[in-house]
Amino acid sequence: MSARAVLRGGLRLESHKTRPLEQPVQRLAAPTTAVLALDQGSGEEARAIVPPGACVRVGTPVAAGRGAAADLHSPVSGTVRAVEPRPTVGGAGTCVVIDSDGRAEREPASRPLAWATLDGAALIERLAAAGLAGLGGAAFPTAGKLALARAAGVELLLLNGAECEPWICCDDALMRECAADIVLGARVMLAACGAARATIALEDDKPEARAALEAAVAEAGDERLEVVLLPAVFPLGAEGLLVAAVTGREVPQGALPPEVGVVCQNVGTAAGVARLVTAGLPALTRIVTVTGSGVRRPMNLEAWIGTPITELIAACGGYDDKQPPVRLVAGGSLTGRALGSDAVPVTKGLNCVLVAAASDLPARTTEMPCIRCGDCAAVCPVGLLPQQLHRAVQADDAAGVARFGLADCIECGCCDYVCPSAIPLTARFRAGRERQRLHEAERRRAAEAKARYERHRRRLDEQAEAERRAFEEARRRARGDGAGDR
Amino acid sequence: MPSPHVVAGYTVPRVMFQVLLALVPVLAVQVYLFGPGPLGLVAVACVTALACEALALALRRRSSQSALRDGSVLVTAVLLALAVPPLLPWWLLVFGTAVAVLIGKHAYGGLGQNPFNPAMVGYAVLLVSFPLEMTRWPVPGPPWDALTGATALDAIGNGLRQGYTMEEVRAGAGFGRVGAAGAEWVNLAALAGGAWLLGRRIIRWHIPVAMLAGLAVPAALAHGLDPGAYPGALFHLASGAAMLGAFFIATDPVSAATSDRGRLIYGAGIGLLTWIIRSWGGYPDGVAFAVLLMNLAVPLLDRGTVPRIHGQPRR
């Protein structure tokens, strides 16, 4: 099957993926000190449940999930040194710091899972306890997503192998090498969410991954599984766009894919599920692409969550002296986040470390006024008019911002990429959203204050009324009583 | 540094200079037909435009460096110089260019802010202020002599009004193979330059295609109904500023509608208005007024043609 609807807009970009894919994924040794960020990329921190000084083993839960944060487990055996703020991918955040004793003792609970005997709810419980989270970048808890899908009665499990952003190729490497794991994970997740079929979607520029997946699907002999090819257009891997490309259904504004009968999971997450059922291992590692002209030997590494990325870069031969890095980016060149330091640890959401040399980053010219050329609208994958939205955002025009769809922007960066006036549109939209959130909070506070004041007034009025009535009553009674005296 | 970390590297100056490059064929044909006059006019307009831009930026206390280098003011100047008759006194062009840059562009806030196409503001002011000078076109050469004659659009307008038939009018001077003598070659050159811009994706197809259709379709219909009173589509496409307008003037993004659907309506409106002004209006060619009138409609078009956002219900 091929894609139903082709994306509107989007960019065909140079992929920059060949060098890391020239060699197989290399396993990195466990770190001597593991730094586990409580926020693994979803924007919410898990709750640390180990005190400093506690002894942990490989697989011991160290933080309990809540909301958008999954459970977190120790990748090493050793002692908790501290629970303290550290630089992280997101800037800074609380981390559980564990000194390894080098013995890598495993939790005794690590046993294969007889998944075929478990029902959906029990499976989801196991996935939650294993701390599985979306490895595509958002790091949303897999169990939460599947539970939502189960409740909504989704029909399709969509495995996202569309790795459309330049430089990132960890999923491509995984699909080439661990296709059978992905297929097994897909079958387990089908059982967990109750969907009727699973589709693994990837782009047509990954023939090796496609062949491996098709072989694995054939081997599994499960008729509910199929592999779908999509055009290699950025940002087709974005969840909502992928759903539309594969099913032709658009997720309504403000809703999630289960609304249209689909649940999305990253292929890496599926492989993690397979590792849980075959070896009983929680989410302890992930594949990270370390690439860019600023690193000597770009490659894909299977790294333990909590490993400082300095160790990843060292494993790739270190920084290239001839092309010194000018910027470290967590993620790809379009949507990645600039890192302030190379000491930050690997998280479940970290798919790529782009060690960018000057040659990788074309210089931005100085910003000029918008000439309304509309190149941005031509590439916007969600059909916005960024030129109009920008005007509305800059004017802080709430009606315009709503009409031109600030809430619908997926921050893919396509408009920035093509803008001849070098306007940082994506950053402006992000700032606009932040402003909107503040306005919203302000409004909410104002409304609460108003409600409080009105309650207060009502209470005072009622009190005054009651007093007045009591007074009247008393006077009436006094008059009545006193009438006989006169 | 916020994402994205890479850009394609197209810049406004590059866009503007490619537009200028695409205008070279038009200039070359004009020089071939009318002698070196157009070259002088282009030079006068460019110098005036740069001086006015520098003056306006100084008055507005803006840095003049990047704005002078962005090339947008040169596009305005060259378009105006190519639109006026080649024998126009140079000081009139200085006046027209100054109006275009100072009032058409900077009075509204400069690049990106002007609601009207600056070149057409200059052209319209010249046309209503100096109608005689602005409609006196030399007879196309070579040889180049200073004789002026009626252009084909003039001849049709005047001739039909005086009761001549279309055949009689078209047998007279000023007509070429399909359109106006000379102008048909200028139009062909503009079409070539425009096609190159389209191919390079400097401009997009919506406005030119819609404008040419908006001009050709009513022309063909009217011609079909009454060939004696209305010239055909091909004549309209090959006369006056049809191609220059479609590919270089109406496509000015700043003053045009900004969504694809809006641009289709905008372009079609310009084409239709051009045909109406040519057919029944007091001026021989209507591109400038048609563009300015549709500029007026842009805020409404922009409001009414916001495309459906992904995830919104299909209309």
Same domain, B125 and B183: no
Please tell me the total count of domains within chain B.
2
| Boundary-marking domain end, from B133, B154, B182 | B133
Higher-pLDDT residue of A162 and B143 is A162
SS (HEC) of chain B: CCCCCCCCCCCHHHHHHHHHHHCHHHHHHHHHHHCCHHHHHHHHHHHHHHHHHHHHHHHCCCCCHHHHHCCHHHHHHHHHHHHCCCCCCHHHHHHHHHHHHHHHHHHHCCCCCCCCCHHHHHHHHHHHHCHHHHCCEECCCCCCCCCEECCHHHHHHHHHHCCCCHHHHHHCCCECCCCECCHHHHHHHHHHHHHHHHHCCCCCCHHHHHHHHHHHHHHHHHHHHCCCCCCCHHHHHCCCCHHHHHHHHCCCCCCCCCCHHHHHHHHHHHHHHHHHHHHHCCCCCCHHHHHHHHHHHHHHHHHHCCCCCCCCCCC
Phi and psi at A167, nearest 5°, equal 80, -40
The ipTM of this complex is 0.89
Instruction: Please count the residue pairs, one from chain A and one from chain B, whose beta carbons lie less than 8 angstroms apart.
Output: 138
Interval A106-117 mean pLDDT: 83
Q: Which residues of B touch A369 (CB under 8 A)?
A: 110-113
Domain ranges of chain A: 20-27+106-286, 364-486
Q: Does B163 touch chain A (CB under 8 A)?
A: no
Q: Which residues of A touch B110 (CB under 8 A)?
A: 369
**Residue A418: pLDDT band with limits 50, 70, 90:** very high
With beta carbons less than 8 A apart as the criterion, state whether B207 and B256 touch. Answer: yes
**Residue A256: pLDDT band with limits 50, 70, 90:** very high
Distance from CA of A389 to the nearest CA of B (A): 11
Task: Measure Cα distances from A21 to A114, A290, B7, B35 in Å.
Answer: 34, 11, 25, 63
* Nearest Cα residue in chain B from A371: B112
pLDDT > 90: what percent of chain A?
84
B140 located within any domain:
no
DSSP reduced 3-state for A361: coil
Higher-pLDDT residue of B260 and B67 is B260
- Answer yes or no: is pLDDT of B61 > 90: no
Question: According to CATH, what is the number of the domain A20-27+106-286?
Answer: 3.40.50.11540
With beta carbons less than 8 A apart as the criterion, state whether B214 and B275 touch. Answer: yes
Q: Which pLDDT belongs to residue B148?
A: 67
Do B258 and A370 make contact, defined as CB atoms within 8 angstroms? no
B307 located within any domain:
no
Do B4 and A334 make contact, defined as CB atoms within 8 angstroms? yes
**Residue A1: pLDDT band with limits 50, 70, 90:** very low
Question: pLDDT tens, B82-128?
Answer: 999 988 999 999 999 999 999 999 999 988 999 999 999 999 999 99
**Residue A3: pLDDT band with limits 50, 70, 90:** very low
* Nearest Cα residue in chain B from A366: B66
How far apart CA A38 and CA A426 sit, in angstroms, is 27
Radius of gyration of chain A (CA): 27
What's the distance, CA A80 to chain centroid?
A: 27
How far apart CA A346 and CA A305 sit, in angstroms, is 5
* Nearest Cα residue in chain A from B257: A372
**Residue B271: pLDDT band with limits 50, 70, 90:** very high
Interval A355-379 mean pLDDT: 90
DSSP reduced 3-state for A335: coil
How far apart CA A286 and CA A27 sit, in angstroms, is 10
B233 located within any domain:
yes
pLDDT > 70: what percent of chain A?
97
- Answer yes or no: is pLDDT of A260 > 60: yes
Nearest to B309 among A408, A416, A419 (CB): A408
B5 located within any domain:
no
Higher-pLDDT residue of B208 and B170 is B208
Q: Does B2 touch chain A (CB under 8 A)?
A: yes
Long-range contacts of B71-74 (CB under 8 A, 24+ apart): B71/B12, B71/B13, B71/B16, B71/B17, B71/B20, B72/A371, B72/B12, B72/B16, B72/B111, B73/B49, B73/B101, B73/B105, B74/B16, B74/B20, B74/B46, B74/B49, B74/B50
Same domain, B187 and B297: yes
Quote the DSSP letter at residue A130: T
Closest by alpha carbon to B191, among B173, B170, B216, B174?
Answer: B216
B125 located within any domain:
yes
Interval A204-222 mean pLDDT: 95
Buried b (16+ CB within 10 A) or exposed e, B270-279: bbbbbbebbb
- CA triple B211-B305-A435, angle to 5 deg: 135
Same domain, B56 and B102: yes
Same domain, B114 and B173: no
Peptide bond between residue A424 and the one before it cis (omega within 30 degrees of 0): no
Domain hosting residue B196, numbered range: 163-302
- Answer yes or no: is pLDDT of B144 > 80: no
Q: Which pLDDT belongs to residue A2?
A: 44
Nearest to B312 among A253, A373, A385 (CB): A253
Do A377 and B15 make contact, defined as CB atoms within 8 angstroms? no
The lowest-confidence range among A298-307, A383-392, B127-136 is B127-136
Same domain, B292 and B172: yes
**Residue A6: pLDDT band with limits 50, 70, 90:** low
Question: pLDDT tens, A297-349?
Answer: 999 999 999 999 999 999 999 999 899 999 999 999 999 999 988 999 999 99
* Nearest Cα residue in chain B from A259: B311
pTM for the complete prediction? 0.87
Question: pLDDT tens, B166-176?
Answer: 777 777 766 77
Q: Which residues of B touch A366 (CB under 8 A)?
A: 66
Please name the residues between 212 and 271 in chain B that touch chain A, using a CB distance below 8 Å. Answer: 253-254, 256, 258-260, 263
Which of the residues A13, A372, A384, A394 would you substitute to probe the B interface, choosing the one with the greatest number of B C-beta atoms within 10 Å? A372
**Residue A110: pLDDT band with limits 50, 70, 90:** confident
Interval B235-263 mean pLDDT: 94
The amino acid at residue B277 is I
Q: Which pLDDT belongs to residue B173?
A: 65
Nearest to A430 among B2, B15, B302 (CB): B2
| Boundary-marking domain end, from B133, B155, B186 | B133
Distance from CA of A155 to the nearest CA of B (A): 19
| Boundary-marking domain end, from B133, B153, B176 | B133
Same domain, B35 and B114: yes
Do A327 and B1 make contact, defined as CB atoms within 8 angstroms? yes
Q: Which pLDDT belongs to residue B180?
A: 73
With beta carbons less than 8 A apart as the criterion, state whether A185 and A126 touch. Answer: no
Quote the DSSP letter at residue A260: G
Q: What is the mean pLDDT of chain A?
A: 92
